[in-house]
């Protein structure tokens, strides 16, 4: 893979991607509109009186429609993240970096900011002339107009992104009432600033230098993976339109001008290529103008470009599918067998480091900290008792207990056992139930000194 230019430590050379029309551009617009609509819509969806998707960091809960995840449920997130990574590996092995070109938020929002820039300053050549020209009233007006529009976009994006961490309807009510809390104001302002910097200025540099996916894509692609490639056998040698000795490439540089990362696809597969297919549309348009067949730059594979047979089924694809099927089955099993009521029990060490105390009448006491969890989307009335200890008294809880949806209630309880228990540990279990079919258990150990 080749880096653009000769000195990667040189100052940034601003990229001015040219706007192109074509079938792939239309397809990207379709995905961009749909994905942005989902992003802006999801925080407003309600589920049983609460926000359907919300990462409640202060409350240490993650709401995913009917699923409520707590710190005790991190195994769910682990399985989800591993499954997402494997899915990305599978997609990359089959169709290359299509995620980057069609679905990555970095690409989608950068293209939206460039679209607004084009409305104010014109297409590629006009933007280059404007930036090179002197500062005058026209230039200042265009730049101020562009940044004003970008600021409005950045604020809307910052508000929307914050809605995945702060209840968006409550945030909107604060903004309308002019009573914004410091936390809300800081979160929205920070996300707005990040959006303006990233999508307005940093742009392709994120893809080229920061995104880890670009760095390890070589380990995910193989000779049969679908990539955006230049057919050098057909295109070389390059030459002008009237040159009888040339190949199909007329060296018009349309593919380079359209590239949002500023690379030349004719130099081969490069880590900066995000497979956005702008070069395909640009090249197809030029091929139509010079009456040449389309496909000089196209979706293909390294084997196909070298004239070798292309395989569809490969060992790595089979391995990915098997692993994804196993993880999907595991996630389904965990979801179906996940108890709606949760309970965790942790022993509390007594003053002086003692595990147990003896009452004046000779009974033994142990203290435990209980975490009671309602994972359901509706209120629950629950009770807590013990199994396996015989006659014990449980003090410190006023029962029954009312738990709201997603609530975690932490309480200290005192277990008082009857006289005559033998020394040592006595395994038992705390039991949480709603008096009907919902129940769960937490193992613990009662210690007798």
- 271 in the same domain as 128: yes
| Residue 382 within any structural domain of the chain | yes
Domain extent for 368: 341-448
Identify the segments of the chain with pLDDT beneath 50: 1-6
> How high is the pLDDT of residue 65?
87
- 224 in the same domain as 111: yes
**CB-based burial label for 44 (10 Å; 0-12, 13-18, 19+):** middle
- 369 in the same domain as 291: no
> In DSSP terms, which residues pair with 401 in a beta bridge?
382
In this structure, the dihedral spanned by the alpha carbons of residues 40, 43, 46 and 52, taken in order and rounded to 10 degrees, is 130
3-state helix, strand, coil in the chain (%, to 5): 45, 20, 35
Q: Which of 277, 283, 122, 272 is nearest to 203 (CA)?
A: 272
- 240 in the same domain as 369: no
> In DSSP terms, which residues pair with 358 in a beta bridge?
364
The rounded Cα 103 to chain-centroid distance in angstroms is: 11
- 172 in the same domain as 250: yes
User: In what order do the strands lie in the sheet containing 61-64?
Assistant: 53-56, 61-64, 67-69
> How high is the pLDDT of residue 99?
92
Task: Give the integer Cα–Cα distance in Å for 57 and 189.
Answer: 18
> How high is the pLDDT of residue 76?
85
> How high is the pLDDT of residue 5?
45
| Residue 300 within any structural domain of the chain | yes
CATH number, domain of 352, equals 2.60.40.10
Residue 407: helix, strand or coil by DSSP? coil
Long-range contacts of residues 440-445, Cβ cutoff 8 Å, at least 24 apart: 440/339, 440/341, 440/342, 440/343, 441/343, 441/387, 442/343, 442/344, 442/345, 442/370, 443/345, 444/345, 444/347, 444/368, 445/347
> How high is the pLDDT of residue 10?
61
> How high is the pLDDT of residue 135?
96
| Residue 232 within any structural domain of the chain | yes
Total domains in the chain come to: 2
| Residue 187 within any structural domain of the chain | yes
Task: Give the integer Cα–Cα distance in Å for 119 and 146.
Answer: 8
> How high is the pLDDT of residue 295?
95
| Residue 83 within any structural domain of the chain | no
| Residue 177 within any structural domain of the chain | yes
| Residue 3 within any structural domain of the chain | yes
Last residue of a domain, one of 264, 286, 307: 307
| Residue 390 within any structural domain of the chain | yes
- The contacts of residue 325 (CB under 8 Å, 6+ apart) are none
């Amino acid at each position: 893979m080749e880096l653009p230019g000769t000195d990667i430590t040189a100052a940034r050379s601003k990229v001015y991607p040219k706007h192109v029309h074509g079938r792939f551009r239309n397809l990207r617009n379709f995905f961009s509109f749909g994905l942005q609509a989902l992003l802006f819509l999801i925080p407003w969806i309600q589920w049983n009186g609460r926000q359907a998707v919300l990462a409640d960091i202060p409350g240490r809960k993650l709401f995913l429609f009917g699923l409520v995840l707590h710190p005790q449920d991190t195994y769910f997130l682990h399985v989800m993240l591993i499954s997402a990574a494997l899915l990305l590996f599978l997609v990359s092995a089959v169709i290359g970096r299509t995620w980057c070109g069609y679905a990555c938020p970095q690409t989608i929002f950068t293209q939206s900011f460039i679209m607004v820039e084009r409305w104010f300053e014109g297409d590629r050549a006009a933007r280059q002339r404007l930036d090179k020209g002197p500062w005058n009233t026209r230039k200042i007006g265009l730049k101020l107009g562009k940044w004003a529009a970008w600021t409005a976009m950045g604020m809307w994006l910052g508000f929307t992104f914050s809605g995945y961490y702060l209840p968006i309807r409550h945030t909107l009510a604060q903004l309308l009432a002019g009573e914004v809390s410091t936390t809300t104001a800081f979160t929205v302002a920070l996300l707005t600033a990040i959006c303006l910097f990233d999508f307005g200025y940093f742009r392709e540099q994120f893809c080229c230098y920061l995104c880890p996916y670009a760095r390890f894509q070589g380990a995910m692609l193989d000779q049969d993976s679908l990539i955006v490639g230049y057919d050098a056998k057909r295109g070389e040698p390059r030459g002008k339109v009237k040159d009888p000795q040339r190949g199909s490439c007329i060296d018009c540089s349309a593919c380079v001008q359209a590239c949002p990362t500023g690379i030349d696809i004719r130099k081969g597969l490069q880590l900066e290529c995000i497979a956005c297919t702008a070069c395909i549309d640009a090249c197809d348009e030029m091929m139509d103008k010079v009456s040449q067949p389309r496909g000089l730059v196209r979706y293909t594979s390294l084997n196909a470009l070298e004239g070798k047979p292309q395989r569809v089924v490969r060992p790595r694809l089979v391995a990915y599918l098997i692993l994804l099927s196993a993880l999907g089955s595991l996630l389904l099993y965990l979801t179906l067998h996940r108890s709606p009521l949760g309970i965790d029990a942790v022993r509390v060490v007594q003053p002086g480091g003692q595990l147990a105390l003896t009452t004046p009448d000779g009974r033994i006491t142990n203290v435990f900290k209980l975490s009671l969890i309602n994972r359901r989307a509706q209120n629950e009335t629950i009770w807590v008792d013990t199994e396996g200890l015989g006659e014990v008294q449980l003090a410190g809880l006023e029962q029954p207990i009312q738990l709201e949806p997603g609530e975690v209630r932490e309480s200290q309880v005192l277990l008082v056992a009857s006289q005559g228990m033998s020394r040592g540990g006595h395994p038992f279990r705390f039991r949480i139930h709603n008096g009907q079919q919902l129940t769960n258990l937490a193992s613990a150990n009662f210690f007798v000194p």
